[in-house]
């Protein structure tokens, strides 16, 4: 994709042509985020072409009623989906009373750069309107790494060939819906609106849940870099919350808008405290100004790269690709908040609902172990520990018992969300990914306390799952695992998938090894584990029998 559409560059993704038909694709590529809030690379001004506005807050989700043609036993009630929030990025521009819409203009120069080294995105466009005004727009923005609730936009507009009258309406667009809604219903409702000159705020509530969010912004105007005063007229556009201002611009005068905005949410803050927190965030940032905030953010990204860059000499495409991956992992999740997890698509869109998959343990924890403090991986594993009761309920749905656990395929809070029998209840190797992540974490940290108190309980519950899920085949004189979907996630009802069978064996081995280690070092801890989990000698005996006798098919 990058090969054809974007310019090769070791540190940036660069789009140097305007193509109104691929705006939606580029919106995903030019996404920005700080691990807590994030957004697609939408244009700030109106655009009548195909686009997909998206702003998301990690951990804020809607329980979307499950959609399924043929209901099967054990299907969950809902699929948790990250909420598409009111859009604080919106800036409606009117030039001589006509709404600016790039889709209706002739663009003669276009360049968008996602600078991954410094974490900002800049778009420079020159175009001619249907009324023959030649205009230049420059929009530069970033989401603050060190101010987790806000992002910053500097939006500049210059007329290149004549005097123009500009009306500008920086606003929050509340006419936003999730594209991935099962039933085309809204996920949030507006419960309060406030506009006060250059400040606006929208309070929203996630429907059928306790989640509340506030979307907010504040602005300043500059002409040719000098701050200017203006008058504010409350928006009369129903879905755009904000105030408009009007300016007469001479040829080559540059009007700039500084817009700082973002979200606070009830995962962190009581609803009553929203307003205080917002004012604090704005006070601490607006006076610093754009350049200082940009520098602060560049430094934060610099620090990330120091710990996580991978240099590939001699292959610029691979260099650009690996840095894009590292950049996205850091935009998606930063490990600061022990409540959050890693959405499969980050903030680039709604596919997969933005909630937790086994990718967290299989692919992501190794990266964060290598590039962040170990507390980050520990927090992620702690979430699985806290969700163990739900994983046990999940295994009970397929008839297992005595504390056997099947971790969910997809989850926001520990409850299974995926409703497809051959994945939900057959793609069971995901259980082994949790064990692998525990082993990696332990190898990295020697955090025996975590293992002794928490991880061992996960290991035992998962071993119980495997030991109950196998069958004994008299024909083969072996333990077999029937009816699974292997890691290709495609072939269903497979008997004795090698990877799955081997994973089962490996999990049992690692659990026994870990129990032995605990026994040898701390007999009291071992006894506590045995009592706390009602672990029986016969269980371990059966695990060993399975280890020695599991069927691992091979082609002659």
**CB-based contacts of 272, cutoff 8 Å, min separation 6:** none
* Closer of 107 and 423 to its own copies (Cβ): 423
State the Cα–Cα distance between residues 67 and 414, nearest whole angstrom. Answer: 20
Give one word for 390, left, alpha or beta, with left for phi > 0 and alpha for psi -120 to 50: alpha
Contact 145, 297 (CB under 8 A): yes
* Closer of 275 and 420 to its own copies (Cβ): 420
User: Pick from 89, 38, 32: which is nearest to 340 by CA?
Assistant: 38
Task: Give the nearest distance from C-beta 492 to its own copies in angstroms.
Answer: 6
State the Cα–Cα distance between residues 57 and 158, nearest whole angstrom. Answer: 33
* Closer of 17 and 72 to its own copies (Cβ): 72
| Binding interface with its own copies (CB under 8 A) | 66-70, 419-420, 483, 492-493
**CB-based contacts of 420, cutoff 8 Å, min separation 6:** none
Task: Give the nearest distance from C-beta 418 to its own copies in angstroms.
Answer: 9
> Helix (H, G, I), strand (E, B), or coil: what is residue 195?
strand
Q: Cα–Cα–Cα angle for 163, 167, 172, nearest 5°?
A: 150
State the Cα–Cα distance between residues 51 and 48, nearest whole angstrom. Answer: 8
Contact 477, 549 (CB under 8 A): yes
Contact 504, 453 (CB under 8 A): no
Q: Is 498 exposed, middle or buried (0-12, 13-18, 19+ CB in 10 A)?
A: middle
Contact 476, 553 (CB under 8 A): no
Contact 51, 39 (CB under 8 A): no
State the Cα–Cα distance between residues 395 and 97, nearest whole angstrom. Answer: 62
State the Cα–Cα distance between residues 499 and 488, nearest whole angstrom. Answer: 10
* Closer of 474 and 524 to its own copies (Cβ): 474
State the Cα–Cα distance between residues 430 and 420, nearest whole angstrom. Answer: 15
* Closer of 448 and 498 to its own copies (Cβ): 498
User: Pick from 343, 365, 342: which is nearest to 437 by CA?
Assistant: 365
Task: Give the nearest distance from C-beta 434 to its own copies in angstroms.
Answer: 24
State the Cα–Cα distance between residues 308 and 34, nearest whole angstrom. Answer: 16
Which of the following is catalytic: 146, 194, 489, 536?
489
User: Pick from 452, 450, 393, 429: which is nearest to 507 by CA?
Assistant: 429
Task: Give the nearest distance from C-beta 421 to its own copies in angstroms.
Answer: 8
* Closer of 325 and 493 to its own copies (Cβ): 493
Task: Give the nearest distance from C-beta 497 to its own copies in angstroms.
Answer: 13
Task: Give the nearest distance from C-beta 68 to its own copies in angstroms.
Answer: 4
* Closer of 68 and 160 to its own copies (Cβ): 68
Backbone phi and psi for residue 98, each to the nearest 5 degrees, phi listed first:
-110, 130
Contact 341, 383 (CB under 8 A): yes
* Closer of 64 and 94 to its own copies (Cβ): 64
Give catalytic status of residue 489 as yes or no: yes
Task: Give the nearest distance from C-beta 483 to its own copies in angstroms.
Answer: 8
Report, as residue numbers or ranges, the catalytic residues: 489
């Amino acid at each position: 994709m990058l090969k054809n559409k974007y310019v090769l560059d070791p540190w940036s993704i660069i789009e140097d042509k305007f193509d109104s038909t691929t705006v939606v694709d580029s919106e995903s590529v030019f996404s920005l985020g700080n691990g807590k809030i994030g957004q697609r690379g939408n244009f700030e001004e109106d655009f009548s072409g195909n686009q997909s506005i998206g702003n998301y807050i990690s951990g804020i989700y809607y329980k979307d009623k499950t959609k399924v043609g043929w209901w099967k036993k054990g299907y969950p009630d809902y699929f948790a989906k990250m909420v598409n929030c009111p859009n604080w990025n919106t800036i409606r521009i009117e030039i001589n009373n006509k709404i600016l819409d790039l889709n209706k203009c002739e663009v003669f120069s276009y360049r968008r750069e996602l600078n991954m080294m410094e974490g900002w995105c800049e778009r420079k466009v020159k175009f001619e309107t249907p009324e023959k005004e030649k205009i230049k727009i420059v929009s530069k923005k970033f989401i603050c790494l060190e101010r987790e609730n806000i992002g910053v936009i500097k939006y500049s507009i210059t007329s290149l060939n004549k005097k123009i009258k500009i009306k500008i309406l920086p606003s929050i667009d509340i006419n936003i819906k999730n594209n991935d809604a099962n039933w085309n219903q809204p996920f949030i409702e507006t419960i309060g609106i406030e506009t006060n000159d250059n400040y606006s705020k929208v309070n929203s509530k996630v429907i059928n849940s306790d989640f509340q969010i506030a979307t907010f912004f504040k602005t300043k105007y500059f002409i040719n870099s000098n701050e200017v005063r203006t008058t504010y007229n409350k928006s009369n556009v129903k879905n755009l919350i904000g105030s408009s201002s009007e300016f007469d611009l001479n040829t080559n005068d540059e009007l700039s808008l500084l817009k700082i905005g973002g979200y606070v949410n009830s995962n962190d803050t009581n609803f009553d405290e929203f307003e205080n927190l917002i004012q604090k965030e704005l006070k601490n940032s607006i006076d610093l100004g754009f350049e200082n905030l940009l520098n602060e953010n560049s430094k934060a990204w610099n620090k990330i790269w120091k710990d996580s860059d991978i240099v590939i000499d001699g292959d610029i495409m691979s260099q650009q690709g690996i840095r894009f991956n590292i950049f996205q992992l850091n935009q998606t999740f930063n490990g600061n908040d022990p409540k959050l997890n890693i959405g499969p698509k980050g903030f680039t869109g709604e596919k997969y609902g933005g909630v937790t998959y086994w990718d967290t343990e299989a692919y992501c924890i190794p990266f964060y172990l290598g590039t962040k403090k170990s507390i980050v991986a520990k927090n992620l594993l702690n979430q699985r520990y806290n969700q163990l009761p739900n994983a046990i309920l999940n295994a009970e749905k397929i008839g297992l018992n005595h504390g056997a656990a099947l971790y969910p395929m997809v989850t926001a809070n520990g409850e299974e969300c995926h409703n497809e029998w051959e994945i939900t209840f057959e793609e069971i190797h995901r259980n082994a990914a949790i064990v692998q992540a525990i082993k990696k974490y332990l190898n990295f940290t020697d955090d025996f306390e975590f293992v002794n108190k928490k991880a061992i309980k996960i290991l035992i519950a998962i071993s119980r799952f495997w030991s109950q899920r196998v069958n004994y085949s008299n024909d083969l004189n072996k333990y077999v695992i029937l009816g699974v979907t292997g890691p290709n996630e495609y072939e269903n009802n497979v008997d004795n998938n090698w990877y799955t069978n081997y994973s089962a064996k490996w999990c049992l081995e690692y659990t026994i090894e870990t129990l032995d280690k605990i026994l040898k070092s701390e007999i009291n801890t071992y006894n506590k584990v045995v009592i706390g989990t009602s672990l029986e000698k016969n269980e371990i005996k059966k695990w060993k029998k399975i280890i020695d006798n599991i069927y691992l098919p091979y082609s002659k």
